[in-house]
Chain A
Amino acid sequence: MTETRFDRLADARPMIECREVQKHYGDYHALRGIDLTIRAGEFFSLLGPSGCGKTTLLRTIAGFEDISSGAVLIDGKDMERVPANRRPTNMVFQSYAIFPHLSVAENVGFGLRRDPRSRVEKAAAVEEALEMVGLKGYGTRASHALSGGQRQRVALARALILKPKVLLLDEPLSALDRKMREQMQVELIKLQRQVGITFVLVTHDQEEALVMSDRIAVMFEGQIAQLDGPEALYARPTSRRVANFIGVMNFLPARVLGETGGAVQIEAPGLGRVDIPMANVSRADPGDLGPTVGFRPEAVSLVASGAQGANRVTEGVVDEVVYYGDMTYYDVRLDGSAGFDGQARPVRIAMRNVFGREVQDVGTRANVSWSPGSLVLFR
């Protein structure tokens, strides 16, 4: 395993601490006890579907919402009764909130009004901030004439110029088109490394969170369902819900046969008997009917024949082919997968299309290779 950024940050001091944070609007519970520590210098994401409380949590950190109970600490200081304008946080709003009556430079310099520095020094700071976000020389432009990407950069410069301890980003890329979004993702990562400020990003886009974050908190219904680094989150989701929200996962019903040493032995239709290491075993969601084994479409592949190394091979029939250009998705019915209840469950397999490899037809027999280490068990 390579050292992740988070490992390097493991010793960093806590920057934001949420302790048992609750937020009610009347009978509606927006936050149901959030416990969370975000470290200094971390790029942290709050990920979840709309209405999961991620924006509310961000706004309680910013100070726009009071919390009903619990505590929010920023850099060790309790933020109770500290209003938004006195918190060491700044925000990039979803709509960017660029003041339409002010020029670009006036927008960026908005927060410097109370700064004791001279006018010339402030102008230099504004220019520097603009340069940092790639808008050098845009200062005199009218802000309402900017494109979406440019507005985004102005909003960033305006927040960063105040050198906050924490930068809060509320779905900052959702209004951009796909190309622009991917470009800004990379720029945001670079910018964060450059300034070293703690970034807290709210997003409903799992890909965005995986690309940008050191750690991700996945939220459902006002609670954190899983908090992990991107790789762990993707490879070892601790609930079916998280697994479903982040990418695609195949699920097959499983029967637990017993525990041996550091592993659980199961039997699943089409897969046979498998030992699953304890690290890959999580509790089932309350709605699940029984133990379930899951694996990503990329964790399995179609092979010519025979097992290689630790991989095992199961035969099956190609049921459906979806061609995406760079990828092909196959739905394959594994032999014996109509297991316990007689219901066939085709598994989805993602194959990168490389030169010389032919796309298989529907109805052909195929060898499916999979590694026992890539399976996760929910029981």
Chain B
Amino acid sequence: MASGNRSQTAQGLTLIAPPLGYAVLVLAAPLLTILAYSFFKDGYLTVIREFTLENYRAVWADPIFHRIMLRSLVVAALVTLATVVLAFPVAYFLSFAVSPQKKAMWLFLITIPFWTSYLIRVFLWKVILGYNGVINSGLKTLGIIEQPLTFILYNVNSMVITLAHAYAPFAILPIFIALEKIDRSLLEAGRDLGESRAMTFWRVTLPLAMPGVVAAALIVFIPTIGDYVTPALIGGGKIPMIANMIQAQMLDLDNRPMGSALAVTAMLIVAVISLVFIALNRRFLRVRQ
């Protein structure tokens, strides 16, 4: 504490060293290894340390990669759209209609399902949506349908429903935080200047909430695209997404350079899409409140 700038810096660096060291060893080093592998040749069971772009060429030329990557993107985009659109009214309700003492309670209720076994939740959706699942068997028992509904069966739809459920709280929280930050007098000003409630929402609330919406979209989109469990369980392995493909290349086929190139390519695509998305929304993100 008896300290100038230099020892402040030194103390900070000393403190951050253990967690930083850990993150470097267990996260950064493996990520860099993957990056390095993606430029090596596969020598069947071994890796030949020789620079090549062949893996990337192969990835880009592979029609299976195109199909799976496209499917992953479509699923992730649909999930993102569904979660954000469904979550916005809830976040709005939490921020504007719930009394301050009850907000923490509502947030807690919303986050609880997120912390309970992901695997079991995903599996339960399979049980709920299946051919003889809860919905179909329930509806049949009630005599509403005679044949099982097929559009919710093991397909992209059911994956979207499952994932939208899994990432719901992720979408609510950032939007809620953005809405909470809005100075309430701005909304009164909007009304005072002659706008209707709806137009005030459109011209004031929504633009100011956009940073939260953008954050929510990214927070849902990025992990969704790399989801492994849902395609494995819901899709029954027949409709793989990019995570399943990476795992297959890496472990089942034991082609590490190829798997690494796949992983790096997928991460690059996600990064580019995220950056484009941020760039498209940059006029909203510049707002300082």
Interface residues of A (CB under 8 A from B): 25-26, 63-66, 68, 83-84
Contact = CB atoms under 8 A, between A and B. Distances in A.
B5 A65 contact: no
B131 to A, nearest CB: 59
A66 B1 contact: no
A64 B1 contact: yes
A66 to B, nearest CB: 4
B112 interface: no
A83 B2 contact: yes
B5 A26 contact: yes
B6 to A, nearest CB: 9
B2 A68 contact: no
Interface string B1-36: 111110100000000000000000000000000000
A83 B5 contact: no
Contacts of A64: 1-2
Contacts of A66: 2-4, 7
A83 B1 contact: yes
Nearest to A23: B4
Nearest to A82: B2
Interface of B: 1-5, 7
Contacts of B4: 65-66, 68
Nearest to B5: A25
A25 B5 CA distance: 7
B11 to A, nearest CB: 13
Contacts of A83: 1-2
Contact of B1 (A25, A26, A68, A84): A84
B5 to A, nearest CB: 6
A18 B5 CA distance: 21
A63 B7 CA distance: 14
Contacts of B1: 64, 83-84
A253 to B, nearest CB: 45
Nearest to B4: A66
Nearest to A68: B4
A234 to B, nearest CB: 37
Given A64-B2, A66-B4, A68-B4, 11 more contacts: A25-B5, A26-B5, A63-B2, A65-B2, A65-B3, A66-B3, A66-B7, A83-B1, A83-B2, A84-B1, A84-B2
Nearest to A60: B2
Contacts of A68: 4
**6 A-B pairs with least C-beta separation:** A66-B4, A83-B2, A63-B2, A84-B2, A64-B1, A84-B1
A83 B1 CA distance: 8
17 contacts: A25-B5, A26-B5, A63-B2, A64-B1, A64-B2, A65-B2, A65-B3, A65-B4, A66-B2, A66-B3, A66-B4, A66-B7, A68-B4, A83-B1, A83-B2, A84-B1, A84-B2
Nearest to B7: A66
Contacts of A65: 2-4
A26 B7 CA distance: 13
A257 to B, nearest CB: 53
A365 to B, nearest CB: 50
A183 B91 CA distance: 49
Which has the most chain A C-beta neighbours within 10 Å: B1, B2, B3, B7? B2
A68 B4 CA distance: 8
Contacts of B5: 25-26
A68 B2 CA distance: 12
Contacts of A25: 5
A25 B1 CA distance: 15
B4 to A, nearest CB: 4
A66 B4 CA distance: 5
B10 to A, nearest CB: 13
Nearest to B3: A66
A68 B1 CA distance: 15
A275 B5 CA distance: 53
Contacts of B3: 65-66
A39 B54 CA distance: 81
Contacts of A63: 2
A66 B3 CA distance: 5
A170 to B, nearest CB: 15
B166 to A, nearest CB: 39
Contacts of B2: 63-66, 83-84
A268 to B, nearest CB: 49
A290 to B, nearest CB: 43
A101 to B, nearest CB: 20
A63 B1 CA distance: 8
A26 B1 CA distance: 18
A84 B1 CA distance: 8
B23 to A, nearest CB: 29
A66 B2 CA distance: 6
Contacts of A84: 1-2
A25 B7 CA distance: 13
Nearest to A84: B2
A63 B3 CA distance: 9
Contacts of B7: 66
Nearest to A79: B2
A355 to B, nearest CB: 48
